[in-house]
Structure 1
Amino acid sequence: MSFFSPEDQPIANNRKFLHLFNSLSLLFLGGILFTFIHPFTEGFSFFFFTLMAVAGSYISLFYAWLYPTNKWLKVFAWTFLLNAAGLGWRVALEWGEVSLIAYLTLYRTGNYLFLTPLFITVVYIFINRFIHKRTLKE
């Protein structure tokens, strides 16, 4: 049995669109939410932190639809590269602003570039291990 249910066939038939949607989502979220999602730091917003967690969960679900076999390294690498590109896009747009320089510490940048792809990859592995196995048993 396929990972896709009959209701999901339109998604299965539009893999390129799904990959493009995931890529653009990661690129824009990587640029926009950089300064707002670090707990215990200035500028933290619980709303944007929750938004990133929900968006990351959806992106993981879409990756599970794209790669039903366990390709977690590919998901981590792709997410890391797009997140880094989004952050680079944000830095290029706001180059020289004093407010952005306060956020470009090694701690914040390193955590952001590593923890966001790690979260998406862990949710992807969880979806593949538990939900995918359950659909194969049915």
Structure 2
Amino acid sequence: MTRLLLIFIRGGNTVKLLNQRAQYFSLLWLGIILLSSCAQTPRYEEEVRIIVSPHKLSVHSGSEDKVFVKLLDRQEGPLFGIKVTATSTSPTVATVTPEALTDPVGKAIFIVHGISPGVTNIIFSAAGQKASMEVVFIGH
């Protein structure tokens, strides 16, 4: 004896009977739809190129300078909405905005604050890739 499933459809107030084979197909189709809608975003580790501008920065005590980071895919297209993180290897020399999202043209903007004499590197990370920029403190 085949089992039947009752489905109530609101719009027309009709009740449909489905046999076991139709139930299996319906559940399989629903599963595929749900899984594809929950698919992860593509991995960009090997596909992302990080461009930092300027590549070297001179700062002084109290200075605030903008640094631009651009993310490009393998075809040189901009990557939108990707989180870019930044850290200073010597925060006593200069600090940097810790993170920013890329805009529609693939650009994220960071602010570097000069603090005291020395040299540091700012490391930018996104999608498993890293790029760095040298920061040199100069006297006022």
Q: Which has the higher helix share?
A: 1
- TM-score normalized by structure 1? 0.25
- TM-score normalized by structure 2? 0.24
RCO greater where, 1 or 2, for CA within 8 Å and sep 6 or more? 1
Larger Rg over CA atoms: 2
